[in-house]
């Protein structure tokens, strides 16, 4: 279980890497030890040979044997003045296996010979050639056993490996506690904050406060704090929307009953003999009918059961004129409406839903122009295209603010004027999408704004174009 934690795995990896580094150092160290061992035997042999040369015939055979035993060699050959002279000698038990020249050998050769010596368990007699100390001759040769050399190398290697193990454990332990303090503890703090926040995401007191001194961890804490704030804001907004939806549903229910009564009274007005009343009555009936339909749709929307559009064929020009007349009555006279729609253009759509789409777009444009206090124009055009129809709504207003463009078609986010809810564009886009089409922003700048709605001719079985 411990090795599954970040601390445990880091501890294990640290020990492995430190041991690997020590092993990489171990092989050259053993090769260097072998070289020093052989040089020490050469120095001993040289001292013994010089002692014998200095004493001449005064040293007997027993002393020679003692000198050779002290140097741990069998024979000593010293070359001086181009003359090779066997100074000390004793019987060699076996033939010489190989010769090693220790006069400035390359590093790779030393490593190779050291590995071969450790891996060879049998004892052999070897000849070694080296430079005399203090330039006391041209060269010196000795013969010696490999068994003592091998045992000395193994003993040295065991001590080096033991020291390496101790160093790796100490290093891993120090790094383990350092990592726990620098990384693991801050990560656990972040995890604990996430768990605490998950229990009550609406509680702003549970937001994490960035404290880490590590740049990457501090960036993670800052990102988590931003995410918590955004998520809490979204949850609060959704809660308000849910409450608003319930209130709207109750209001729509009562308003529907009131409008139903008004519709009955409007039906009676159609029988009036007053010409003005007779002309106004149909428009009043249509307006009340749309209001009743809107209430019904609102109640359905509150149940998350938005009805699909009821598609009929009708002339678009008459619908646009009705919408424009309503906007003119609601406006202050600064806005002029211009249409570019063929009188015979017939489309297939839900009449009431399309009326709401155009009304929302035109109302936003009218209110934007009126907010400037300057006269302006709203142009509504339509035509046919491959596979359907297009409807364009453009104005000469001041253009959409940057914030509105960033949250276009999002409810309660894309309000372009002070006091606006941002529902108009969201509703329009949703209704167009329900027809299998799309609503897009063509342009917006200081010269005006233009929206384009594309409606398909037919819907497939899934309700998409």
Summarised one tens digit per residue, pLDDT across range 160-201 is 888 877 887 787 778 778 777 777 787 888 888 888 888 877
- With bands split at pLDDT 50, 70 and 90, how would you rate the model's confidence at 379? very high
Q: Which of 448, 450, 428, 447 is nearest to 439 (CA)?
A: 428
- With bands split at pLDDT 50, 70 and 90, how would you rate the model's confidence at 441? very high
> Are 165 and 208 contained in the same domain?
no
Domain assignment present for residue 381? The answer is: yes
Domains held by the chain: number: 3
- With bands split at pLDDT 50, 70 and 90, how would you rate the model's confidence at 125? very high
CATH code, 411: 3.30.565.10
Domain boundary among 171, 195, 226: 171
Number of other residues whose CB lies within 10 A of the CB of residue 143: 19
Q: What does the alpha-carbon distance between residue 164 and residue 19 come to, in Å, rounded to a whole number?
A: 7
Return the bridge partners of 441, or none. Answer: 451
> Are 8 and 138 contained in the same domain?
yes
> Are 413 and 460 contained in the same domain?
yes
> Are 154 and 210 contained in the same domain?
no
Per-residue confidence (pLDDT) for residue 393, from 0 to 100: 95
Per-residue confidence (pLDDT) for residue 464, from 0 to 100: 43
Per-residue confidence (pLDDT) for residue 189, from 0 to 100: 82
Contact 318, 286 (CB under 8 A): no
> Are 88 and 225 contained in the same domain?
no
Using a pLDDT cut of 90, give the percent of the chain over it.
23
| Res 461 pLDDT > 50 | no
- With bands split at pLDDT 50, 70 and 90, how would you rate the model's confidence at 316? very high
For residues 35-62, average pLDDT: 78
Domain assignment present for residue 272? The answer is: no
241 against 342, higher pLDDT: 342
Domain assignment present for residue 372? The answer is: yes
> Are 313 and 216 contained in the same domain?
no
Domain assignment present for residue 301? The answer is: no
Per-residue confidence (pLDDT) for residue 416, from 0 to 100: 52
Buried b (16+ CB within 10 A) or exposed e, 237-272: eeeeeeeeeeebbeebeebbeebeebbeebeeeeee
Interval 251-266: pLDDT, tens: 665 666 556 656 666 6
| Res 342 pLDDT > 90 | yes
Number of other residues whose CB lies within 10 A of the CB of residue 132: 19
Q: Is 74 helix (H, G, I), strand (E, B) or coil?
A: coil
Residue whose pair of structure tokens reads 């009326």 in the numeric block: 355
293 against 221, higher pLDDT: 221
Domain assignment present for residue 42? The answer is: yes
Q: Is the dihedral of CA 270, 274, 275, 276 positive or negative?
A: negative
3-state SS record for 365-400: HHHHHHHHCCCEEEEEEEEEECCEEEEEEEECCCCC
> Are 167 and 58 contained in the same domain?
yes
Of the ranges 167-171, 239-243, 357-361, which one carries the lowest mean pLDDT score? 239-243
122 against 410, higher pLDDT: 122
Q: Which of 437, 428, 427 is nearest to 463 (CA)?
A: 437
3-state SS record for 390-446: EEEEEECCCCCCHHHHHCCCCCCCCCCCCCCCCHHHHHHHHHHHHCCCEEEEEEEEC
pTM, 2 dp: 0.43
Q: Which of 87, 23, 97, 102 is nearest to 55 (CA)?
A: 87
> Are 7 and 152 contained in the same domain?
yes
Longest dimension (CA), the chain: 162
140 against 285, higher pLDDT: 140
| Res 300 pLDDT > 70 | no
> Are 11 and 138 contained in the same domain?
yes
For residues 5-9, average pLDDT: 70
Domain assignment present for residue 280? The answer is: no
455 against 86, higher pLDDT: 455
Per-residue confidence (pLDDT) for residue 165, from 0 to 100: 78
Domain assignment present for residue 80? The answer is: yes
> Are 340 and 455 contained in the same domain?
yes
Domain boundary among 223, 242, 261: 242
Per-residue confidence (pLDDT) for residue 188, from 0 to 100: 81
Domain boundary among 128, 156, 171: 171
295 against 118, higher pLDDT: 118
| Res 203 pLDDT > 90 | no
Domain assignment present for residue 264? The answer is: no
- With bands split at pLDDT 50, 70 and 90, how would you rate the model's confidence at 155? very high
Per-residue confidence (pLDDT) for residue 463, from 0 to 100: 43
Chain centroid offset of residue 263 CA: 59
- Lateral strand order in the sheet of 448-456: 335-340, 376-385, 388-395, 448-456, 438-445
Domain that residue 402 falls in? 309-465
> Are 65 and 146 contained in the same domain?
yes
> Are 230 and 367 contained in the same domain?
no
Average pLDDT, rounded, for the chain? 80
Residue whose pair of structure tokens reads 């704030």 in the numeric block: 229
- With bands split at pLDDT 50, 70 and 90, how would you rate the model's confidence at 392? very high
| Res 453 pLDDT > 50 | yes
């Amino acid at each position: 279980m411990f090795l599954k934690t970040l601390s445990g795995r880091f501890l294990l990896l640290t020990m492995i890497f430190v041991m690997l580094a020590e092993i990489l150092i171990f092989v050259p160290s053993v090769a260097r030890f072998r070289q020093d061992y052989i040089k020490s035997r050469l120095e001993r042999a040289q001292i013994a040979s010089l002692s014998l040369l200095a004493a001449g015939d005064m040293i007997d055979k027993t002393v020679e044997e003692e000198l050779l035993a002290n140097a741990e060699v069998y024979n000593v050959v010293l070359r001086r003045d181009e003359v090779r002279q066997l100074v000390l000698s004793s019987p060699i038990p076996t033939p010489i296996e190989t010769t090693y020249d220790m006069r400035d050998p390359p590093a790779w050769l030393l490593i190779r010979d050291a590995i071969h010596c450790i891996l060879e368990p049998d004892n052999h007699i070897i000849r070694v050639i080296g430079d005399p100390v203090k330039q006391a001759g041209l060269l010196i040769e000795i013969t010696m056993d490999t068994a003592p050399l091998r045992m000395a190398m193994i003993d040295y290697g065991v001590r080096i490996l033991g020291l390496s193990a101790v160093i790796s454990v100490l290093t891993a332990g120090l790094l383990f506690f350092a990592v726990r303090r620098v990384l693991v503890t801050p990560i656990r703090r972040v995890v604990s904050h996430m768990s605490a926040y998950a229990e009550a995401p609406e509680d702003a007191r549970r937001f994490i406060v960035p404290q880490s001194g590590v740049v990457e961890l501090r960036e993670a804490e800052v990102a988590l704090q931003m995410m918590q704030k955004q998520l809490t804001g979204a949850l609060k907004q959704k809660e308000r929307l849910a409450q608003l939806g319930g209130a709207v549903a109750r209001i729509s229910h009562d308003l529907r009953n009131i409008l139903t009564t008004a519709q009955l009274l409007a039906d009676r007005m159609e029988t009036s003999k007053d010409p003005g009343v007779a002309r106004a009555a149909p428009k009043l009936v249509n307006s009340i009918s749309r209001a009743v339909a809107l209430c019904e749709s609102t109640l359905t929307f509150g149940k998350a059961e938005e009805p699909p559009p009821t598609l009929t064929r009708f002339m678009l020009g008459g619908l646009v004129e009705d919408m424009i007349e309503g906007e003119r009555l609601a406006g202050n006279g600064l806005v002029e409406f211009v249409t570019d729609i063929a009188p015979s253009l017939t489309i297939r759509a839900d009449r009431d839903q399309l009326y709401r789409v155009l009304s929302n777009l035109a109302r936003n444009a009218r209110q934007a122009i009126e907010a400037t206090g300057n006269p302006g124009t709203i142009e509504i055009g339509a035509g046919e295209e491959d596979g359907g129809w297009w409807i364009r709504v453009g104005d000469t207003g001041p253009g959409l603010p940057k914030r509105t463009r960033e949250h276009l078609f999002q409810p309660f986010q894309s309000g372009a004027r002070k006091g606006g809810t941002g529902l108009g564009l969201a509703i329009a886009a949703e209704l167009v999408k329900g027809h299998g089409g799309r609503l897009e922003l063509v342009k917006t700048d200081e010269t005006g704004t233009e929206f384009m709605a594309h409606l398909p001719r037919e819907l497939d079985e899934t309700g998409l174009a």
